[in-house]
Structure 1
Amino acid sequence: MVSPIVIAHRGYAGVAPENTVAAAVNAAAVDETAMLEIDVQPAACGTPVVIHDERLEGRRNGRPLTDASGLVRETSLEDLRTARVLDTAEPIPTLTEFLEAIPETVGVNIELKTPGTSELRVGESLPEADRDDRRAVWLPFVERVVDACASFDGELLFSSFCEGALAALRAVAPAYAAATLVWNDLEAGLEIARRYDCEAIHPPRNAIAGTGLATTSYAGFSDAEPDIDVLEVAHDEGRAVNVWTVTNWHQFEQLAAAGVDGIIADYPGLGAVSSGD
């Protein structure tokens, strides 16, 4: 069995302040880490910043996400840079700062979270009549993201739950690898992957048929066995399958045994535990 690559979710969010430079540097130093997974969205000025939530006052296990409040897209870059993440000294980094801080020996999976609007069309395979409009919504932000990545020579993989983001990426920088993130519709995810010739597809952990996780509810899926074997279909079409988000070695072991290509994990070392190393 070939072991899946390990992708550090927000820089291993289970052990470090998520989406920060400190988390990324520490995660990159872990031998098993093949890629870092991060989220980007625009500040009020359009500069790409690395943060997951649309609002600054979200919470993680009882802690405030930051010591600031308001929508990221309505907050100045200066104010964002003075915000601190999860009661630590770590600031919200710009994408440029983030990429400059990490070694180019580790790849980066950049999730295009939002272009600065609340209308996202998450998880939808768009009708043809809507595709140009959604691409246009995303295009200015994706251009800024691609510009920020220009000097980074490590591996880059762009992903999104939004078809418009992938359409904009293919228009701006078709040479970069792309992945469609699946929310609650496997067929839609596969349709989008085919439409934009995506190198990968990223389903949630309970969308892999035949595993014990497939009958547990998570993310947008119920506890019913998936009606599509997304792993088989994607592999038949030549696409990698990277699964999110794994939080313990039991989950890691099942997904590795199923033959997924990558596991997006909150903690380092889960593969070593499951293999008995």
Structure 2
Amino acid sequence: MDSPAVIAHRGYAGVAPENTVAAAANAATNDETTMLEIDVQPAACGTPVVIHDERLEGDRTRDGRPLTDATGLVRETSLEEIRAARVLGTEETVPTLAELLEAIPETVGVNVELKNPGTADLRFGESLPVEDRDDRREVWTPFVERVIETCDAFDGELLFSSFCEGALAALREIAPRYAAATLVWDDLEAGLEIARRYDCEAIHPPRNAISGAPLADTEYAGFGAGEPEIDIIEEARAEGRTVNVWTAENWHQFEALAATGVDGIVADYPGLGTYASDQ
């Protein structure tokens, strides 16, 4: 069995200030890293910036620390203020997407998660009824256009993912040349429906939604404990899609997920795959 690709979650958020240039650059130097995973959303001016939470201080703390030393909604904050915000008590700042891509080699792929187009109404994790799809695509289109304009300067592998169907709809209309992945939250059937609707190259389920893995007995990402009703690997493979699962936080989880035959594993720490493969 081939080893799964290792995808550095926010630049290995377990060992570095997440979604920063330093985290991404350091993760890219690790021989195990196949791809970086980063989150993008717009500043008040529409410029794509690399940050996960809706608010600069964070929607939750990281071991008691706010995400940055600034406050306020990212989408309502000026680019100057965002770029000056220090991340997790370090000297690292919130970068623009362009700054981060310029800092990494094109030998490492980048999974760009389309997090928020600048609105509180996301329709997160939903398979949309047909009458809502055009509207949600239009909501995302201006931001996705800015993201694609920036990413076109990067010659490495790019994969765009989102929990929001509108983001994938916009991507397919604007830049169908790029690979797409639907992120799954609490509903495997909805994830498969969206992947089929936009012919996504990949699907990204959470770690406890993989049939046959012991992690299915844990609650995570909106899923309760228990064996999934759908074998997402079997369904995806039958349709020619890769399966990248999130997020491994230790080598036990990585080993369990790798044993199921997934194609890629989003990991918080470097070295998880190396250690798991040695066991």
Whether these two folds match at TM > 0.5 is yes
> Contact 2:209 / 2:228 at 8 angstroms: preserved in 1?
yes
Alignment match, 1:82: 84
Alignment pair present for 1:25 and 2:25: yes
Alignment match, 1:242: 244
1:181 corresponds to which of 180, 183, 188: 183
> SS at 2:146's partner residue?
helix
Alignment match, 2:130: 128
Q: Give the 5 Å matches for 1:1-277.
A: 1-58=1-58, 59-276=61-278
Q: CA deviation at 1:57?
A: 1.1
Letter in 2 for 1:32: E
Letter in 1 for 2:222: G
Q: How many Å separate the matches in 2 of 1:272 and 1:171? A: 39
Deviations 1:68-116 (A, max 9, x none): 0000000000000111000001110000001001000000000000000
Deviations 1:130-152 (A, max 9, x none): 00000000000000000011110
> SS at 1:174's partner residue?
coil
Q: Which runs of 4+ in 1 moved over 3 A?
A: none
Q: CA deviation at 1:225?
A: 1.1
Q: How many Å separate the matches in 1 of 2:13 and 2:98? A: 20
Question: RMSD of the alignment, in Å?
Answer: 0.6
> SS at 1:157's partner residue?
strand
Structure 1-normalised TM-score?
A: 0.99
> Contact 2:111 / 2:161 at 8 angstroms: preserved in 1?
yes
Deviations 1:193-238 (A, max 9, x none): 0000000000000000111001111111000210000011001110
> SS at 1:60's partner residue?
coil
Q: How many Å separate the matches in 1 of 2:238 and 2:13? A: 32
Q: How many Å separate the matches in 1 of 2:215 and 2:226? A: 10
Q: CA deviation at 1:24?
A: 0.4
> SS at 2:203's partner residue?
strand
Deviations 1:131-175 (A, max 9, x none): 000000000000000001111000000000000000000010001
- Structure 1: gaps (5+ residues): none
Q: How many Å separate the matches in 2 of 1:67 and 1:254? A: 37
Q: How many Å separate the matches in 2 of 1:88 and 1:50? A: 16
Q: CA deviation at 1:21?
A: 0.3
Q: CA deviation at 1:261?
A: 0.2
> Contact 2:32 / 2:274 at 8 angstroms: preserved in 1?
no
Identity %: 78
- Structure 2: gaps (5+ residues): none
How many residue pairs get matched? 277
Letter in 2 for 1:262: G
Structure 2-normalised TM-score?
A: 0.98
